[in-house]
Homo-oligomer: A and B are copies of this chain.
Amino acid sequence: MTCYPGFLCGCRCAASRAAALRSLLKYQAAAAASSLLAGLPLPGGFQRRLLTCSQLSPVESLLPSFAAAGFPPQQESSGSPGRGPFALGQQSVSGFALSRLDQRRGRSEGSAGLACGGGFRPSRVVVVAKTTRYEFEQQRYRYAGLSEEDLKQLLALKGSNYSGLLERHHIHTKNVEHVVDSLRNERIEVRLVKRREYDEDTVRWADAVISAGGDGTMLLAASKVFDRFKPVIGVNTDPERSEGHLCLPVRYTYSFPEALQKFYRGEFRWQWRQRIRIYLEGTGINPTPVDLHEQQLSQEQHSRALVNGRFYDQRSEVSGPHLLPVRALNEVFIGESLSSRVNYKSCKPSFKFSLHRASYYEVSVDDGPWEKQKSSGLNVCTGTGSKAWSYNINKVASQAVEEILKIAKKHESLNLPLSRELIQKVTNEYNDSLLYSPEEPKMFFSIREPIANRVFSSSLQRGFFSKVCVRSRCWDACMVVDGGTSFEFNDGAIASILINTEDALRTVLLEE
């Protein structure tokens, strides 16, 4: 590793430069660095506190049965004194230091079979329901003081189908009711919430979280769950219109009681979906997350942003590594601003330097040397995310495969019959190679639309890594987590992106 600029950012005088150099050397010794990075509390009120017995939720107190159900046996947890949930405090502050061990453990989790010992019977469940497109339109036009009749007309004007939207809305609502009723019939306490009512208190109150919507709703539901013992379960409430990779098989949408029975009887397995954590350091960073789903930007928020914006350019202190208060279930994207986050910054006088499309940064993977990059952004995903955006960035079209094979055929004058089947087979096999298990504690890194020329190389384009460090050279960029939370990421900021199996999200695998 040539150099780790992060630790040199703070140097104003020789003395502190020396100090910085010392911390650099310290950093280079992985273990030291680990403890150094890991000691930090999670900002935003997400500090993991040492749990006491009284604080244990029914789910947590089911610990033994978890083991049978594929929960990582505590004795593997790197000789930390604690055992079971009581040790969470220590474990979670052991950051990097644990991550290697964690990863081994992660693999053992991955290999846990479908055989299920103990069952799972929550007593308090929060159901997070998505906002349907119909509700969205309604909010929008209500805000503009229009009636239902106007809404109908306006949708017609736009060529949208009012009754179609209404139908989808009813289907969703029916399915949500089915889930809620099934839970209540089992005397399970239920809180039905929308995005805006879904907060940390609600999560704390619940033994389990059920997302009722599509994958977007599942990402939202997961985004507030930092307790690795709290299961998050997805129900796809509009199977005809949404994919629902992260949800239970579609049949349980219509027969949710069956799913509940399987939970009770332990006829399922826990799936530990690995998540990515991010440490942010350097100059001009702002570890405050911004919710991109935010339903409304209020005037006062806006003025606040204006003020922040005003003084933005004067923020020049160097900050040490902050562990960001989010965990990425799908991916971390770094690049040109593609989010309402920018909106806030609009309000600062901004001097645009280059076209916004291209982002400039330096990248170091697995502590390798720093490489200059110019592209439309970087994507670092989990196994879960390998089916999402990362897949769309990296997959090839059969059209391209056909042309590539034709060219090779011509050059080598091969006797290669280019049948539709062959082309499709090759395309599928290539694209499938981009996918991997959500439980594997590794990240897939890819550069989006790399720009190679005399000035910028693009030797490093994609691959599996366990640590990615990115140093921003952008002017108006952000780091977006699961397309839902965004952080400023401008020149001078450095992100360390890695997987710590402590962060895994607990979900449920049910057979079809």
Contacts and interface: CB of A to CB of B under 8 A. Distances in A.
Interface string A475-512: 01000100110000001100000000000000000000
Interface string A453-467: 111000001100000
Q: How many copies make up the complex?
A: 2
Interface string A409-444: 001101010000010011001100100000000000
Contact of A346 (B347, B403, B408): B347
Contact of A316 (B154, B240, B316, B340): B154
Given A158-B9, A401-B404, A425-B411, A292 B140 contact: no
Nearest to A425: B411
A337 B342 contact: yes
A336 B448 CA distance: 15
A136 B354 CA distance: 10
Interface string A147-171: 0000001101111100000000000
A304 interface: no
- Which of A10, A160, A343 has the most CB atoms of chain B within a 10 A radius of its CB? A343
A141 interface: yes
A352 B449 contact: no
A157 B404 contact: no
A8 B159 contact: yes
Interface string A295-335: 11110001001000000011010100000000000000100
A349 interface: yes
A85 interface: no
Interface residues of A, number: 106
A354 B216 contact: yes
A140 B454 contact: no
Given A313-B144, A342-B342, A351-B139, A404 B396 contact: yes
B5 A159 contact: yes
A376 interface: yes
Interface string A388-405: 010011001101110111
B337 A471 contact: no
Contacts of A357: 333, 338, 389, 480, 483
A346 B342 contact: yes
A330 B277 CA distance: 38
A283 interface: yes
Contacts of A305: 346
A254 interface: no
Contacts of A337: 337-339, 342
A450 B355 contact: no
13 contacts: A154-B283, A157-B318, A240-B454, A241-B455, A243-B455, A340-B346, A355-B484, A392-B450, A393-B449, A397-B462, A404-B405, A405-B405, A408-B408
Given A292-B352, A295-B352, A396-B400, 13 more contacts: A9-B157, A154-B316, A157-B318, A243-B454, A295-B351, A340-B346, A342-B343, A357-B480, A397-B462, A399-B461, A407-B425, A408-B416, A411-B425
Minimum-distance CB pairs A-B, first 3: A343-B346, A158-B492, A355-B483
